[in-house]
Structure 1
Amino acid sequence: MMSLLVVGAIIVSIVLGYRFKLNIGLFAIAFAYLIGCFGMGMSPKEVIATWPLKIFFIIFSVCLFYSFAIVNGTLEKLAEHLMYRCRNVPSLMPFAIFLAATVISGLGAGYYTVLAFMAPITLLLCNRTGLSLIVGGMAVNYGALAGANFVSSQSGIIFRTLMTSAGVSDNQAFLNALGIFASTLIVPVVVLAGLIVVGRRRGSAVASLEHVERPSPLNREQKTTLTLTLIMMATVLLPPIASLLLPDNAAVAFVNAKVDIGLIASVFSVIALLLKLGDERQAIASLPWGTIIMICGVGMLISVAIKAGTIDLLGSWIGTNIPPALIPVAFGVAAALMSLFASTLGVVTPALFPLVLPIANTLAIDPMIIFIAIVVGAQATSISPFSSGGSLILGSCPDDRARAGLLPKLLFRAAPLGFVAAMVFNLLLTFVF
């Protein structure tokens, strides 16, 4: 009974958040308190302790460092240069948009930030060149997702933290995150290539990119910020890679054990402040506070669900009612359906990742395949107008008429297309590996 109550609370939190346009995390915190204290006999101190402090600190510190690149215009300038470099191949503009979004997001801007400043540019390019709004929207959305999934970027860090919280070792979580990044890089390339081929056959190729003007060069602050970002990425990535290559080397193991991306990002934030790369108050104000509250708030409710035995019960049901060969695909379908109305980072992965290890160990399935299937499925439908990605793209439309015309295209063409591509990929992933 208590497990059903917790599941109902998660669903109600999503519905209320969507209905009243309020942060889902706030509803989740309220339900965690009510169910935990009055339904399960937990003390208020125990409920407060379910706040995922590690995830909060990592997101806060990493986003704080990367916010300097947003505040001083480094990422936006870099996007302009990437688009300009691709102006001579107009037929490949979807890949240019995808590449620009991937690089900028991978450098730390994160999914929401990239969409916020690249979606308007993309829709403008679509209007001026004749590129399909569906193709342009999917290109920028896919790119922002893929880049953010990189192991040292926002989503990749959250995935790694959720996996280690669920019992995965640090090195294995790193490998799983690399698998997620590679998968979410492959699927968009195949989908966009197919859309370009279909567009050419229908005679709807891009007209021209001659209007794209040469951007001004990066200034001192922007060059320094880019250099500092690359150094931080190397600092975070090299020790775990060295540990995988040299597992018996004591020195490598020592250094890798001391690497923490949250603490490293804090050090680099101080360096950025000392180098005057951006205003401290602007950097803090630009942090994705809404995302942080949503992820941590839902994390509290998920922790209450774990204490109530909900996760174990759900995992047991999946393990006994779905054939082992179809487990990853089933997870992908569930993630895709959830992502139509909810956030991948805030709701889908915190809810599904804790189920993976128990089921994988029981049925002898590689956990990496299930983790990948969840993220690929969830991000396939993130372009839905009722999800975060689609709503940001709709918000970038110049007027209500354009917005009304784009909404059904995102819901009935882009989201189903992404879903089919993701399920085909998950099937291949399951039966090939």
Structure 2
Amino acid sequence: MMSLIVVGAIVLAIALGYKTRINIGLFAIAFAYLIGCFAMGMSPNEVIKLWPLKIFFIIFSVSLFYSFAIINGTLEKLSEHLLYSCRKFPHFLPFAIFFSSTLISALGAGYYTVLAFMAPLTLLVCQRTGMSMIVGAMSVNYGALAGANFVSSQSGIIFRTLMMGAGFSEEDAFINALGIFISTAVIPLLVITGLVFLTGHAKTMKESGFSIDKPRAFDSKQKTTLTLTLVMMLLVLAAPISAILMPDNETITFINSKINIGLVASIFSVIALMLKLGDERKAIASLPWSTLIMICGVGMLISIAIKAGAIDQLSSWIGTNIPSALVPVAFGVVGALMSLFASTLGVVTPALFPIVPSIAANLGIDPMIIFICIVVGAQATSISPFSSGGSLILGACPSDENRRDLFPQLLFRAAPLGFAVALLYNLAITFVL
């Protein structure tokens, strides 16, 4: 009975958040308190301790450092240079948009930030080149997602932390997260290639006569910011990769055990402030506070669900009612349906990742495959106009007429296409790997 109450609370929190446009995390915190204290007999302090402090600290620290590259214009300037480099090959612009978005997102801008300044630029490029808005929208959305999924970027860090919270070692979480990144980088290339070369878009863009003004050079602060960002990424990636390649080396194992991306990012934030690469107040104000509240609030409610036994019951139901070969694919479909109305980071992965260990162990499935299927499925429908990605792209439209034209295209073409390709990919890795 208690499990049903908690599951109902999760569904109700998502529905209320979608209906009222109030952060889902706030509803989740309220339900965690009411159910935990008054239905399960927990003390208020026990409920407060369910706040996922580790996830909060890591996202806060990493986002704070990466925010300097946003507020001083480094990442926006980088995107302009990358697009300018493709000016003589307009039919490759969708790939330039995808790789630009991926790189900038991987450098720490995160999914929402990349869409905020890349989507308007992309839709403007669509107008000037005759490129389909669907092609442009999917290119920038896929790129922002793939880059954010990189193991040292925002989504990748969240995935790794959730996996470790579910009982996986740091090395296994790193490998699983790397598998997610590779998958979400391969799928877009397949989709974009098909859209460009199999639908006539390449010919249209070749004949467009597209031109773009040469962007200004990076200033000294932007060069320093870019250097610091690359150094930090290399530092936090070198240790775990070395530990995987040389697991018996005691020195590397020791160093890897002392590397924490949140703490490293804190040091680099201090360096950035000492070098005056950006204003401290602006950097703090630009942090993804709404995302933090949503992820941590839902995390509290999911912890209540775990204590109530809901996760174990759901795992048992899936293990006995769905053919084992189709379990990863089923997870992908569920993730896609949830993502139509809820956040992948804030709702889908915190709700589904804790189920994976027991399912994988009971059915003898590689947990990486299930993790990949969940994220691939969830992010396949993120371009829906009812989801955060699609709504940001619609908001970037230069006119109401463009917005009216793009809405049905996102809903009836882009989202179904993304879902179909994700489903095929999940089927392929489930039966091939």
- What is the TM-score of this pair, normalised by structure 1? 0.98
Aligned runs of 1:184-199 on 2, under 5 Å?
A: 184-199=184-199
Post-superposition CA distance 1:55-76 (Å, at most 9, x none): 0000000000000000100000
User: Match for residue 167 of structure 1?
Assistant: 167
Q: Secondary structure at the match of 2:199?
A: helix
Displacement of 1:208: 3.4
Aligned runs of 1:365-376 on 2, under 5 Å?
A: 365-376=365-376
Post-superposition CA distance 1:208-245 (Å, at most 9, x none): 36331100010000000000000000110001111011
Q: Secondary structure at the match of 1:199?
A: coil
User: Match for residue 384 of structure 1?
Assistant: 384
Residue type of the partner of 1:428? A
1:360 has 2:360 as partner: yes
Residue type of the partner of 2:93? M
Change (3 A) 1:321 1:222: same
Give the whole-Å Cα distance in 2 for the aligned partners of 1:318 and 1:157: 27
Aligned runs of 1:83-122 on 2, under 5 Å?
A: 83-122=83-122
Q: Secondary structure at the match of 1:290?
A: helix
Residue type of the partner of 1:382? S
Give the whole-Å Cα distance in 1 for the aligned partners of 2:324 and 2:18: 34
User: Match for residue 341 of structure 1?
Assistant: 341
Q: Secondary structure at the match of 2:389?
A: helix
1:396 has 2:386 as partner: no
Aligned runs of 1:67-216 on 2, under 5 Å?
A: 67-200=67-200, 204-205=204-205, 207-208=207-208, 210-216=210-216
Residue type of the partner of 2:283? A
Displacement of 1:351: 0.3
How many residues matched? 433
Give the whole-Å Cα distance in 1 for the aligned partners of 2:199 and 2:206: 9
User: Match for residue 419 of structure 1?
Assistant: 419
Residue type of the partner of 1:139? S
User: Match for residue 3 of structure 2?
Assistant: 3
Residue type of the partner of 2:274? L
Residue type of the partner of 1:64? L
Give the whole-Å Cα distance in 2 for the aligned partners of 1:207 and 1:360: 52
Q: Secondary structure at the match of 1:422?
A: helix
Give the whole-Å Cα distance in 2 for the aligned partners of 1:401 and 1:12: 35
User: Match for residue 61 of structure 1?
Assistant: 61
Displacement of 1:199: 2.4
Displacement of 1:112: 0.4
User: Which deviates the most, 330-339 or 205-214?
Assistant: 205-214
Kept in 1, the 8 Å contact 2:128–2:210? The answer is no
Q: Secondary structure at the match of 1:411?
A: helix
Give the whole-Å Cα distance in 2 for the aligned partners of 1:174 and 1:26: 30
Displacement of 1:401: 2.3
User: Match for residue 228 of structure 2?
Assistant: 228
Change (3 A) 1:311 1:215: same
Displacement of 1:207: 4.0
Give the whole-Å Cα distance in 1 for the aligned partners of 2:53 and 2:201: 53
Q: Secondary structure at the match of 2:200?
A: helix
Residue type of the partner of 2:109? A
Q: Secondary structure at the match of 2:231?
A: helix
Q: Secondary structure at the match of 2:198?
A: helix
Give the whole-Å Cα distance in 1 for the aligned partners of 2:242 and 2:209: 43
User: Match for residue 330 of structure 1?
Assistant: 330
Give the whole-Å Cα distance in 2 for the aligned partners of 1:35 and 1:188: 42
RMSD of Structure 2 on Structure 1 (CA): 1.1
Q: Runs of 5+ in structure 1 lacking a partner?
A: none
Aligned runs of 1:239-318 on 2, under 5 Å?
A: 239-318=239-318
Residue type of the partner of 1:258? K
Kept in 2, the 8 Å contact 1:83–1:97? The answer is yes
